[in-house]
A and B are shown apart, each in its own frame.
Chain A
Amino acid sequence: MTLAAATDLAAAANENLANISNTLIYSSMAVYTLAFFAYIAEWLLGSRSKVGRTAAALTSKTQAKAPAVTVKNAGGTAVLERPQVVVRSAAGTRDVPDGPGAHGGDEQGDLYGRIAISLTVLAFLVEFGGVLTRALSVERAPWGNMYEFNITFSTVAVGVYLTLLALKKNVRWLGLFLITTVLLDLGLAVTVLYTASDQLVPALHSYWLYIHVSTAIFCGAVFYVGAVSTILYLFRDSYENKLATGGTPGKFANSVLDRLPAAASLDKFSYRVNAAVFPLWTFTIIAGAIWAGDAWGRYWGWDPKETWSFITWVAYACYLHARATAGWKGRKAAYLALIAFGCWLFNYYGVNIFVSGKHSYAGV
């Protein structure tokens, strides 16, 4: 076999793999769509908790006087063997129980919710296969252009969600919001951003590609999860405020927001998520600087991409600071978190599309 024939054969094999990848991505979109409808069914069938727990907690007179105390078992199942720990929230915070989740205690709703999660797992596996075959078809990490970023990004975001679920964290409420945006993300990927699989320009031939880009995508996915819960926190918080001051929230708020976790829980969750990836984001930027030093002869050159990752970093630092500063906790800090995520998004879409710089690998 001549060399040319061998390369042709390899190219054909790669083209095959690329086609398989495309098919898998489309299939995953189909399954995500089914999951989307199942989540919708969960929300529709699920009812607002019969007791109206939030309202009850916020309007009962006794509540205002003595801060509530919740009792938790600590130290395992042997309740009688061990003393119980009494947990009291800090003075001044509203003490509201978490909502029951999308199904709202409705059995059928719960069933659809479980179906939705199973479908999400399936779609995740299919999409993961799509990313993997894409990587095999180009014989490199699948992070060379925006199409590839997008499909990897949504895979990781769903992966993070499923991992949190597997760790028995209370995140089922994220499902519908997450899958909606995953569908948007994939829709953009296969229509506007699609690029046929190909090799990388030499500047991307580096093990730093694996380090820098993989952590960047992972951070983005986690920041995204944080942003969703921040938005829900803002809604839920105004809902609770309204109830606490004696207002009557709209029907929609009553039905949907009542089922979400308490504002305090959502706030804490988004803080945890954002704080947990902030060091990794710091690392991503530093790794990028080291790579830029090797590839372009300078560590930091205020290229638009570099500038915006710096802005994103400073914005998240603002958010973390705000939470430690009197007068900025709560809603103000939440707005900062959303601005910070907006910076991340702009760095990803905006800079790739509208601003030209050295990082011009977008392939659009």
Chain B
Amino acid sequence: MSKTTADTTTDTTPDRAAEDQDLSAAGSQLSTAPVEGPPNLPSLGVIGWLRWFWRQLTSMRVALLLLLLLALGAIPGSLIPQSGVDATKVSDFRDKNPTLGDIYDKLGLFHVYSSVWFSAIYILLFVSLIGCIVPRTWQFVGQLRSRPPGAPKRLTRLPAYTTWRTEAEPEQVREAALALLKKRRFRAHLTGDAVAAEKGYLREIGNLAFHIALIVMLVAFAWGQLFKSEGNKLVVEGDGFSNTLISYDDFKSGNLFSTDDLTPFSFTLDNFTGTYETSGPNKGTPRTYQATLDYSEGAYGKEKKTLVKVNHPLEIGDSKVYLTAHGYAPVMTVRDGKGKVVYSDAVPLLPLDSNVTSSGVVKVLDGYKNAKGVSEQLGFQAFFLPTYTKGNEVASTFPALLNPVLNLQAYHGDLGVNSGIPQSVYQLDKSHMKQFKNSTGGDLRENLKPGETMKLPNGAGSITYEATKEWANFQVTQQPGSGWALGGALTAIFGLAGSLFIQRRRVWVRATPSADGVTVVEMAGLGRSESAKVPEELGDLAGILYDRAPGAPDPDDGPTEPSEPTDHAEPPQAPEPAEPSISPDPVATAEGAENQ
């Protein structure tokens, strides 16, 4: 570009300058991209500064810079542990690198995607985007309402050009050209001695739709974050769940969420099924992993059966119920010295590894009296191996229930649950508990198989491992706005395809009488970007028009067409003689000016 401008400034004949202006009018408004000038200094005053700032923010250059920053800013979050993804990793990292941890904390690097600076980048980008789209849309509407600019004086200077001489009358040629272009779905009209036509507006529509869709996606995503909720519930086979806040084990929600928003439904876990690879390098990897639920929608809905699997959540309204984890819940019965049952329940244990080695506790809070008849509390530390292999006492060797063994240790005393400090149901506070001893004076600790009982010493009672149930953990999420996000995403893809695959281009056909009585037809094409398609299409159009206005014999004084396809031929000279007699096309300049 710079080269031509330099050229024109060195030989500034008025002719040449006018011609360049004429040409740029022909190419003007071929897209709605903002016009770029050098970043000149603002005029004085607050308004001047604001206007300058706004113009910078909405320029392509700054949009590009912000996009680059967005990409760069996203990187640290993928390399540094994020509290939103894995909080334990973050605290591990902090423990290992205290100083670095502090610095990261200050910079928000443990929650990059909600940090101030990352938000600043994308908010600026989207402000820039809106500031870019609005004027572009108006401009595009203006372009649709006006007509394609008229033909520039010298069509030879356009990227694709062809010409021939015909006996047909100029009017006939122009009419034929107009009909042909309209038939090819060009927006065409007659201006002066030429037909001006344009096609490919879908490119602009696609591009605008794509950028607008990006905004829709962002808004939908933000909306979803504000109103979303996410809760977890561990359910043992046979137990039920109803979707109310108090039913959850833990619950998170967005800032604007209210409990009334919870979709009413309930379900019972009928059965969990897990099967696992039995051999090979991936031994123990789950193969089937599914839960059968009986669920009902609303408060009194009809009960229905469904299967929830890893890729198949249960969808009810805005809510989705995911199966996220599973484990075992041994059924245990505790009796006092007199044989009275004081506790009997399935106790969910938490998995420690991929072979579901699990641990947990049983707490007998009330109803138990010891051998002396005094009320006491009991606690059991449980350790469970679904597949016990001799010689491997501390870890299960397979995730399925092949040879389950439950290891128990028993405590008595005060569980400390009334002290007011919240306690985990999976941990035992042993500060006021004493461990039962066995006959040799060591700690009482036994491995039980299903059906077996461990006796507590001195008539203190017993605990029986009856059977094993399975439990499943369900995550219930509710995220409004995902429909909008999906709609935005689809629009973005189609808009993008339209924007990248469709070429916006103009075609001009000029027909003028020449000195020797025949008509000179000139055709030229111009695309938004240089493309092989434009000359191809022009060739097609010219071929058809040529059939309707066949060639006349060449005059002897000069070749109309370059006869040999050489690599570096001079531009054809033929149209030149015809030109001077025609006045500069007033329509072209007027149109160009109107659109600016």
Contacts and interface: CB of A to CB of B under 8 A. Distances in A.
Interface of A: 57, 63, 66, 68-76, 81-93, 95, 97, 195-196, 198-199, 201-203, 205-206, 208, 268, 275-276, 278-279, 282-283, 286, 289-291, 293-304, 307-308, 310-311, 314-315, 317-318, 320-322, 324-328, 343, 351, 355
B82 A302 contact: yes
B562 to A, nearest CB: 5
B289 A88 contact: no
A282 B498 CA distance: 14
B244 to A, nearest CB: 20
Contacts of A66: 570-571
B565 A71 contact: yes
Contacts of B539: 72-75, 82-85
A275 B567 contact: no
Contact of A69 (B486, B542, B551, B569): B569
Contact of A321 (B60, B277, B562): B60
B540 interface: yes
Nearest to B125: A314
B3 A91 contact: yes
A74 B164 CA distance: 14
A201 B285 contact: yes
A318 B546 CA distance: 44
Interface stretch (B296-304, B307-315, B356-364, B436-444): B307-315
A291 B324 CA distance: 15
B4 interface: yes
A198 B281 contact: yes
Contacts of A296: 322
B79 A325 contact: no
A327 B85 CA distance: 40
A272 to B, nearest CB: 9
Closest 3 pairs (CB-CB, A-B): A74-B539, A75-B543, A91-B4
Interface stretch (B68-76, B190-198, B333-341, B378-386): B68-76
B489 A74 contact: no
Contact of B565 (A73, A275, A299, A325): A73
B158 interface: yes
Given A89-B530, A92-B1, A68 B538 contact: no
A307 B77 contact: yes
A282 B542 CA distance: 38
A74 B543 contact: yes
Given A279-B496, A297-B230, A318-B67, 4 more contacts: A205-B311, A299-B482, A314-B67, A321-B63
B255 to A, nearest CB: 18
Interface string B481-492: 010011001101
Contacts of B68: 318
A90 B530 contact: yes
A289 B485 CA distance: 11
A293 B1 CA distance: 48
Contacts of B567: 68, 70, 97
Interface in B30-83: 33, 36, 60-61, 63-64, 67-68, 70-71, 74-75, 77-79, 82
28 contacts: A71-B562, A71-B565, A74-B543, A83-B164, A83-B523, A83-B543, A85-B161, A85-B162, A85-B539, A87-B159, A88-B159, A92-B2, A195-B281, A199-B285, A202-B286, A202-B310, A206-B311, A276-B500, A291-B311, A293-B482, A296-B322, A299-B482, A300-B221, A302-B77, A302-B84, A303-B85, A317-B67, A322-B64
Interface string B273-309: 0000100111001111100000000000000000001
B222 interface: no
A105 to B, nearest CB: 15
Contacts of B500: 275-276, 278-279, 320
Given A75-B540, A318-B67, A302 B113 contact: yes
Contacts of B551: 83
Contacts of A89: 159, 530
B371 to A, nearest CB: 50
Contacts of A326: 36, 60-61
Contacts of B492: 282, 286
A69 B282 contact: no
Residue among A82, A195, A198, A304 with the most chain B CB within 10 A? A82
A69 B78 contact: no
Contacts of B469: none
B60 A324 contact: yes
Contact of B64 (A71, A86, A291, A321): A321
A97 B568 CA distance: 10
Nearest to B23: A91
Nearest to A91: B4
Contacts of A314: 67, 70-71, 74
Contacts of A87: 159-160, 535
Contacts of A310: 74
Nearest to A198: B282
B320 to A, nearest CB: 7
Contact of A201 (B63, B286, B546): B286
Given A68-B568, A71-B569, A299-B482, A86 B311 contact: no
B429 interface: no
Contacts of A327: 61
Nearest to A90: B530
A177 B489 CA distance: 36
Contacts of B407: none
Q: Most A CB atoms within 10 A — which of B3, B496, B564?
A: B496
A197 to B, nearest CB: 9
A325 B282 contact: no
B477 A308 contact: no
Contacts of A343: 71
Contacts of B158: 88
A80 B74 CA distance: 59
Nearest to A274: B500
Contact of B310 (A70, A76, A205): A205
A326 B490 CA distance: 30
Contacts of B562: 71, 84, 86
A90 B1 CA distance: 8
Given A86-B160, A196-B281, A318-B71, A202 B64 contact: no
Contacts of B479: 298-299
A97 B485 CA distance: 47
A82 B543 CA distance: 5
A283 B164 contact: no
B85 A325 contact: no
B493 interface: yes
B67 A202 contact: no
Given A199-B285, A297-B320, A307-B78, A85 B535 contact: yes
A63 B569 CA distance: 10
A124 B92 CA distance: 48
Contacts of B113: 302
A203 B290 CA distance: 12
Contacts of B287: 199, 202
A276 B496 CA distance: 10
B311 A208 contact: yes
Q: Which of B67, B562, B572 neighbours the largest number of chain A CB atoms within 10 Å of its CB?
A: B67
